[in-house]
Amino acid sequence: MSMSNTLKKILIPVDVDKPAESLLLLSYAGQFAAAFSAELLLLHPSNTAALTFTQQTRRVQLLRAM
Under 8 Å between Cβ of 22 and 54:
no
**Helices then strands, each counted (H, E), the chain:** 3, 2
Q: What is the pTM of this model?
A: 0.58
From the centroid of its chain, how far is CA 42?
A: 2
Assign 33 to helix, strand or coil: helix
Q: Name the β-bridge partners of 11.
A: 41
Per-residue pLDDT tens for 11-46? 988 887 787 888 888 899 999 999 999 999 888 777
Amino acid at the residue 61: Q
Strand (E) or helix (H) holding 12: strand 9-13
For residue 39, what pLDDT is reported?
92
Asked whether residue 1 carries a pLDDT value surpassing 90, the answer given is no
For residue 32, what pLDDT is reported?
92
Q: pLDDT grade, residue 2 (50/70/90)?
A: low
For residue 50, what pLDDT is reported?
78
